[in-house]
Amino acid sequence: MKLRTSLVLMGLFFISLVHAENFTQGNTDRARALIDAAVEAHGGEALLDDLQTLIIEQESVNYSVDQSRAAEPPWDKSPGYGIDAIDLENAVFVNTANNSSGGFESRNRTVINGDDSYQMNLRAGTVARIAEPDFDTTSGPFVRVTPALLLRTLKSREANANYLGETSADGVDYDVVGFSMTVGPAISLYFEKGTHILRRSERVFPGFGLVEYRFDDYETKGEIPYNRSFTLYLNGDINLERTIKSVRVNEPLDALLEVPEGLVSIPEAQPDPLSRQELAEGVWLIGGNGTYAMFVDMGDYIFAAGGAAGIPDRIDLLREVVGDKPLRYGMMTHHHFDHVLGVPVYEEEGATVIAATAHERVVRRAATSGETLELQLVDEKMVLEAGDRRVEIIDIGPTAHTEHLLVAWLPEEGILFEADHFAMPAAGPVPPAVSSTKTFAAAVADHGLEVKRFVSAHSAKPGTPADLEQALQTKEYQARR
C-alpha cells in the first residue's frame, strides 16, 4: 500500500514538473517570438545593432504632481528643454537640461565618458569630475523613454524576459512583456497587437507607486521608427509631456563633450556615505546620499525633523548615541511626496507626526494607517520645551517652492533646519540663489530669526548667514561672462 501511494505521489510530482516545464518553456518561447516581432517592427535587429550614436533634442512641460506649491490639484506646470546623447559602442552619455520648476532654475550638463566624466552647473559656472561614473545608471532614464534603445536593450536581455499576457487599454489591444534592465525596477512593455509597435510601458517604484510611459506619433528616420511625443504618468496623473524636436542618428558627439570656457573647476563629486555629526550638544544631523534628518535630545524623548528617504537607517545611527530613548515627534517640512516618506517610519516608532494643517490629507495618505495616525497639525507655530531645550516649529511659508513650509528653529543654538530652499554644496563656491532661496531668505528675515547655522535636508554641510548672503549676491554664470 505504501509503495502504491509512493508511486502515485511520484507520478503526480512528475506530472507537475512536466506541466511547470511546459509552462515555463511556453512562456519563454512566446516572449522571444514577441520580442523578435517587436524588434522587426522597430527597424530590425541589423539596423538596431548599427545604431551606435543617437542625439535627441526635446522640449517638455512638467506637471508637478504632489510637488506643486499647493497640496491639491491643479498641479503647477513648468517648461523644460534638453538634449540627450548616447554612444553605445563607447559607453558615452551626455545629458543637458534647462529647467525652471518649483522655485528652482537650473542649467546642467552631465557627461559620462570614462575618466573624462563631468558634472557641469552652467548656472553656477562650475565643473566637477565624476569620481565613479556609471554609464548604465546615468543613461538608463534616456533608454527607458526611447523605444529604439529599449528594443535594442530588450533583445540583448531577452534571457530574463517573460510574457506577461494580453490586455486592453484605451481601446487598444496589447501583448505585454516584462524584463529587467541592468539597473532599476522591472519594466513592462506594451506592444500593440498587429503592429508590434511599443506604445506604453510601466514600472512600480516602492514608496512612489506606478510610473507609466506613453509613446505616440511615430516617425521613421533611417528606417527606424521614433516617437515624436512622450507622456509620463505618476499614479494615473499626468506628470510630463515631451515633444521631440529633432533626432540625429550616428552623428559624432564631440561638440557635446566639450567643457565650456570659463567654468571653475571644483573637487570631484564623491560618494555620500551615511554619517552622523553633532551640531550642538544633543543635536545631530544624520544622513547620506543627499538626504538628511535632524534629531534633538529633549531629555526624556527625541524630536526629529525631516521625512525624506532613508529615515530607518538614520534612526539606527541615532540609537547608537541615545539608546532606546523614545522618539516622540517627527516633523514633516512640507507635503512633497519625497518629504513624507518618513511618515510610516515615525508611525511605527509610535511618534506623533507634526505637519502643517494644509498638509493633513497628504500626510495621512502617506501613513500606514492614516485614520489612526497620531498627528499634530500646525497653523503658524508650535513650541516644544524641556529643561533648557526649546524647539520652535514655525510655518514660514509661502515661498516659491511651497505655500506652507515648517522649519525647526532652535533659538538657543541658533540652528534652523529646513528642506529644499538652501542646501550648501559639498564642494566649491556657493551657487547663485534660486527663487526658492530668495523667498526663504525673505521669510527668515520677516520672522526675525537670528540664525547662526542653516541645516538642510539635502546637505551634510551646514550654511551660515554669510553663505546665504553670498548666494543672494552671486550672479549667474551666463551673466558673468
- Give the CATH number, domain containing residue 293: 3.60.15.10
Q: How confident is the model at residue 15 (pLDDT cuts 50, 70, 90)?
A: very low
Domain assignment present for 208 = yes
Do residue 399 and residue 296 come from a single domain? yes
Do residue 258 and residue 312 come from a single domain? no
Report pTM.
0.86
Do residue 122 and residue 218 come from a single domain? yes
Do residue 178 and residue 300 come from a single domain? no
Domain assignment present for 396 = yes
Of 220, 217, 261, 225, nearest to 242 by C-alpha is 217
Interval 286-297 mean pLDDT = 97
Q: What is the pLDDT of residue 85?
A: 98
CB atoms within 10 A of CB 265: 12
Residue 164: domain span: 48-268
In what side-by-side order are the strands of the sheet with 283-288? Answer: 275-280, 283-288, 291-297, 302-305, 327-331, 352-356, 375-378
Domain assignment present for 27 = no
Residue 97 belongs to domain with CATH number: 2.50.20.10
Q: How confident is the model at residue 481 (pLDDT cuts 50, 70, 90)?
A: low
Of 258, 455, 445, 421, nearest to 336 by C-alpha is 421
Give 425-473 pLDDT, tens digit per residue: 988 899 999 999 999 999 999 999 999 999 999 999 999 999 999 999 9
Query: In this structure, is the dihedral angle defined by the CA atoms of residues 359, 235, 161 and 42, taken in order, positive or negative?
Result: negative
Q: How confident is the model at residue 4 (pLDDT cuts 50, 70, 90)?
A: very low
Do residue 297 and residue 259 come from a single domain? no
Distance CA 413, CA 84 (A): 46
Do residue 316 and residue 418 come from a single domain? yes
Which residue, 236, 268, 300, sits at the end of a domain? 268
For residue 292, what are the contacts with CB-CB under 8 A and spacing of at least 6? Answer: 285, 286, 306, 308, 314, 455, 456, 457, 458, 459, 460
One-letter amino acid identity for 447? H
Do residue 216 and residue 320 come from a single domain? no
Q: In a 3-state reduction of DSSP, which class is residue 139?
A: helix
Which residue, 268, 285, 314, sits at the end of a domain? 268
Domain assignment present for 7 = no
Do residue 158 and residue 241 come from a single domain? yes
Q: How far is CA 23 from CA 166, 169, 256, in A?
A: 16, 26, 49
Do residue 257 and residue 312 come from a single domain? no
Which residue, 268, 292, 311, sits at the end of a domain? 268
Of 32, 238, 76, 58, nearest to 141 by C-alpha is 58
What average pLDDT does the structure give for the chain? 93
Do residue 62 and residue 76 come from a single domain? yes
Give 311-340 pLDDT, tens digit per residue: 999 999 999 999 999 999 999 999 999 999
Do residue 168 and residue 293 come from a single domain? no
For residue 191, pLDDT over 60 is answered with yes
Domain assignment present for 26 = no
Interval 118-135 mean pLDDT = 94
Number of domains in the chain: 2
Do residue 220 and residue 285 come from a single domain? no
Domain assignment present for 28 = no
Domain assignment present for 12 = no
Of 363, 355, 296, nearest to 327 by C-alpha is 296
